[in-house]
Amino acid sequence: MLGLGLGILCVGAVLYERDAGAAVWAVLLANGLLWPHLAFLLVRHSAEPTKAEYRNLTFDAAMGGFWIAAMHFNALPSVLLAVMLTMDKVIIGGWRFGLRTFSALLLTCIAAGAAWGFAFEPQTSYPVVLACLPFLVIYPMAIGFATHSISRKVQLQRDLLDKMARFDGATGLMNRQQWLYAASTELRRFQRSGRPAVLILIDIDNFKQINDRHGHTVGDQVVEEFARLMKACLRDADTGGRYGGDEFGIVMPDTHWEEAMVAAERLRRQVAAYVFTRDGLRCTISIGVCEIDADKAEVGDWVEAADRALYRAKANGRDCIAVM
């Protein structure tokens, strides 16, 4: 709409100097004022709106060729129309679409030029230059603002997709894949420098019974509340993740198992004392702790050792901590 309105000003200034007939003026007004609304309706009611919009843009380019010929190839407005009409098509559909629409512009220009006997008057008067200035200044700025707005939206969507790929949506913790990557990073750091680290696996006790007795909505609430409690216990350097449905993990760098036990016990007590629902539901957790050592060649070995400690805690009656 903006481009067509500004284009009317350029073309109209030349047509006024050429003393164009009423029919040409009628076509110009229809193209600049009526066509944008018709194009919108065509897209809105089309079964394939994207294809309809591309057809409309091609028609815009073709009409640009018509007006270049109608202006008898007046230099400044003709070049301005050709460049602007091609630029926005390349932005929208890439260089192939830009080439296709430029071809439509060129063919229409040749056909219309033949109808006018290829009248060639390239001189641009000062009034026409002034009439072209709004199009020359405002339209590129509008394209720039629109492109910036689209790029920001794309970046936001990209950031959201990246977050969805890395984090668990329900808890805000890292998902299994990313948490294992963090664990493998600590393992490689230990293999390079011998820096200690502890891996902790946590399981919510009797979680299946919670789901069966209270429903999955309450189960989801328990998971979310536990994740909040766990995050509150983490240091800035620690990495928490959701390992499975009701199983969670923590990687604690620069930590020995004795220090990890203190943190794990603090978390266990906080969970045992916490009321998860309004009707007084309480939960407990079992915790497996494993400090990295030279026997752990792969991150899977480390996780497996912590998992064995976790199952030992469960075998000991749950609501406790075991170290492997």
Domain residue spans of the chain: 2-163, 176-323
pLDDT of residue 120: 92
pLDDT of residue 36: 87
Q: Which residues of the chain have pLDDT under 50?
A: none
pLDDT of residue 163: 66
Burial annotation 6-30 (CB, 10 A radius, 16+ → b, else e): bbbbbbbbbbebeebeeeeeeebee
Q: Under 8 Å CB-to-CB from 77, ≥6 apart: which residues?
A: 10, 11, 13, 14, 71, 124, 128, 131, 132
The token duo for 275 is 């009321």
The token duo for 198 is 């502890």
The model's pTM is 0.59
Query: Rounded distance, CA 187 to CA 288, Å?
Result: 18
Query: Rounded distance, CA 91 to CA 81, Å?
Result: 16
Residue 167: DSSP 8-state: B
Per residue in 100-145, pLDDT (tens digit) is: 999 999 999 999 999 988 899 999 999 999 988 988 888 888 878 8
Three-state secondary structure of 75-123: HHHHHHHHHHHHHHHHHHHHHHHHHHHHHHHHHHHHHHHHHCCCCCCCC
Query: Rounded distance, CA 220 to CA 213, Å?
Result: 13
pLDDT of residue 204: 95
pLDDT of residue 153: 84
How many degrees, rounded to 5, is the angle at CA 43 between CA 38 and CA 45? 95
Q: Under 8 Å CB-to-CB from 139, ≥6 apart: which residues?
A: 2, 3, 6, 84
Question: According to CATH, what is the number of the domain 176-323?
Answer: 3.30.70.270
